[in-house]
Amino acid sequence: MLDKYATLIKIENGYIMDQKIGESKVTIDHVASYCGFSKATVSRVINKEGSVKPATEAKVLEAIEKLGYMPNNAASALSGGKTGTIAVFLPDVKTEYYAALLTGLEEVAEKQFFNIIIKTQNNKKALLDLAINNKVDAFVLRNNGLQPFDHDVLVTLKRRGIPVVFIGKPPAESDSHAILIDNVGGARLMAHHYVQHGFKKILFIAGPEDNLDSNDRLYGFKIGLSELSAEIERLDVIHGDFLRESGYLAAQEALRNSTYDAIFAASDHMALGAMLYCRSRGIRVPGDMAITGFDDTFFSEFLDPPLTTVRQPMQDIGSIAMETVLRILEHHESRFQKIILPTQLQIRQSCGCTHA
């Protein structure tokens, strides 16, 4: 007998209750009856097996949404099915970069009815637990080179056939899909711009010494200078940690005994720190010295002067990483891909340009 507090939803064979309100649970059989397809077809859609026509899949998903059906992911995993969950490792979620990555990851996952588990600690035990106990279908791992992934974790994922997509360069021992940005190309364009300005004495504020992105940006900058046979009197490198305070301290240390025509920082936050130090010492930007950054963080265009920088598509990186994972799960792709997203030079006033 139907509970008197239940919401009634009419289907061809009678009535069922809305799982969100009634006490009885909407089952996969109810979904099959509602949309007119077999239970097996509904199961293939839920488990994202990729063998269902798009029109059929759309009708099944519509029935799932209308009935409020909630698949039992744990039971599905135990029976060899999919959990509908992706594990995401991001070293941080507070900065604009990682917040944008997470936004891109979540938007794509939600549209495909996937959940994500976010880990911010590169913990071997926790990652192995997710893999060995079938708690997730795949992993998205951000690799910046600072927190190397344990070899045992990578071997376990490979042996169990769990898809992995890296954001950033995959470790040397891992054959995995990877989503990268063109750090080298972006920094190379900035070098060309510096040569056009005629800068001779340049300070590069890098990230941590082992950071892969920072090292690629320095490499690209040097390539760009050499391509145009630039006669550089001085190219000094000092390391920070991508944050504003380290940019301030780097500029303070470098400018204590030296002068420069321009500073190129490996992140906008460090560029901002360098600008703040220059302002505190009465050094005009760009009148006395040009300063540029990398990332095109949201605040860059609102600085005084607006910051010339290299734009990387932060949210797109997350979106494409999740799309890649879901495509692997659907089509069981075995051929590894490296997708390199372009960067763009954003010319503003901090480099000395007045037409931007």
Highest mean pLDDT among 46-55, 221-230, 269-278: 269-278
Specify whether 197 is located in the same domain as 231. yes
Mean pLDDT, residues 174-193 taken together? 93
pLDDT of residue 5: 29
Distance between CA atoms of 86 and 124, rounded to whole angstroms?
A: 17
User: Which pair of tokens denotes residue 261?
Assistant: 């025509």
Annotate 261-324 with three-state secondary structure.
Answer: CEEEECCHHHHHHHHHHHHHCCCCCCCCCEEECCECCCCHHHCCCCCEEEECCHHHHHHHHHHH
pLDDT of residue 31: 87
User: Which pair of tokens denotes residue 135?
Assistant: 């708690």
Of 116, 59, 111, 60, give the one whose Cα is nearest residue 83: 116
Specify whether 215 is located in the same domain as 295. yes
CA-derived radius of gyration, the chain? 26
Specify whether 216 is located in the same domain as 196. yes
Specify whether 176 is located in the same domain as 320. yes
pTM: 0.75
Specify whether 214 is located in the same domain as 264. yes
| Total domains, the chain | 3
Grouping H, G, I as helix, E, B as strand and the rest as coil, residue 204 is: strand
Mean pLDDT, residues 141-149 taken together? 81
- When pLDDT is cut at 50, 70 and 90, the band that residue 10 belongs to is very low
Pick the last residue of a domain from 71, 93, 125.
71
- When pLDDT is cut at 50, 70 and 90, the band that residue 11 belongs to is very low
Specify whether 304 is located in the same domain as 211. yes
User: 190 near 255, Cβ under 8 Å?
Assistant: no
Residue 14 in this model has a pLDDT that exceeds 60: no
Mean pLDDT, residues 218-229 taken together? 94
Residue 78 in this model has a pLDDT that exceeds 50: no
Q: Is residue 353 in some structural domain?
A: no
User: 186 near 312, Cβ under 8 Å?
Assistant: yes
Q: Is residue 50 in some structural domain?
A: yes
Residue 21 in this model has a pLDDT that exceeds 60: no
Q: Is residue 356 in some structural domain?
A: no
| Structural domain that includes position 292 | 183-312
The DSSP element (H or E) to which 87 belongs, if any, is strand 85-89
Specify whether 117 is located in the same domain as 235. no
Mean pLDDT, residues 15-25 taken together? 44
State the CATH number of the domain containing residue 64: 1.10.260.40
Q: Is residue 77 in some structural domain?
A: no
- When pLDDT is cut at 50, 70 and 90, the band that residue 40 belongs to is confident
- When pLDDT is cut at 50, 70 and 90, the band that residue 307 belongs to is very high
Distance between CA atoms of 61 and 65, rounded to whole angstroms?
A: 6
Q: Is residue 355 in some structural domain?
A: no
Of 143, 261, 258, 260, give the one whose Cα is nearest residue 212: 143
Residue 174 in this model has a pLDDT that exceeds 80: no
The DSSP element (H or E) to which 257 belongs, if any, is none
pLDDT of residue 65: 78
Highest mean pLDDT among 11-15, 323-327, 329-333: 323-327
Specify whether 193 is located in the same domain as 306. yes
Q: Is residue 59 in some structural domain?
A: yes
Residue 22 in this model has a pLDDT that exceeds 80: no
